[in-house]
Amino acid sequence: MLWVWIIGLAIPLAVGGLAGRLTMGSMATYGALVQPPLAPPPWVFPVVWAVLYLLMGIASVLVWKADVPQEEKKRALTWYGAQLAANFVWPLLFFNAGLYGIALMWLVLLLALVTATIVAFRQINPTAAWLLVPYALWLLFATYLNAAIWLLNR
C-alpha cells in the first residue's frame, strides 16, 4: 500500500507548500517587523514546517491504516483535515494580510483543532498522537511569536 504513504505524505506537504508559495513575497515585511526575544530567522520556518508536515503525514497514515472501525478513522481524520485547513489559512492572515490580532485568534483555534486531533489519534494509534506533539509545541511557540509581534508592531 505504497500509494497510501505517498498520498498521506503528499497532502500536508502540498498544503504547506501552497501556503509557503502564497506567502513567499511577505518574508521581507516579516523581517522588517519589531521581533520579540527568541524570534528565529526567517529561514527556520520552512525547515521546521517541512519536518512538521512530514510528521503529520506519517501520523495520518498510521491512523488510516489502523485496524479500527471506519467511523473512528473518519472522525479522527475529519479533525485532522480541519486542523490542516486552519493551518493553511493562518499564514495568509499573518504574513499576507498583516492581520496579527486576527491571526492570533486563528492560531488559538488551530491549537484547539490540533489538540482535538491528538486526542482522536491517541484513541486509534498512540504513536500517531505522539507524532503531532512537536507540532502542538511549535504552535505554542508560534502563539508567543504572533502575540508578541502583534503587541510590538501596533
**pLDDT given for residue 41 in this prediction:** 86
CATH superfamily to which 2-152 belongs: TspO/MBR protein (1.20.1260.100)
Domain ranges of the chain: 2-152
pTM for this prediction: 0.94
For residue 85 the three cell numbers come to 485547513
Q: Is 9 exposed, middle or buried (0-12, 13-18, 19+ CB in 10 A)?
A: middle
Helix 2-23 to helix 44-64 angle (10° resolution) is 150
Q: What is the Cβ-side half-sphere exposure of residue 65, based on CA atoms within 13 angstroms?
A: 15
**pLDDT given for residue 26 in this prediction:** 85
pLDDT of 10 > 90? The answer is: yes
**pLDDT given for residue 56 in this prediction:** 98
Model confidence pLDDT, tens digit, residues 66-95: 999 999 999 999 999 999 999 999 999 999
**Residue predicted with more confidence, 77 or 25:** 77
55's CB contacts (< 8 A; 6+ apart) are 131, 132, 134, 135
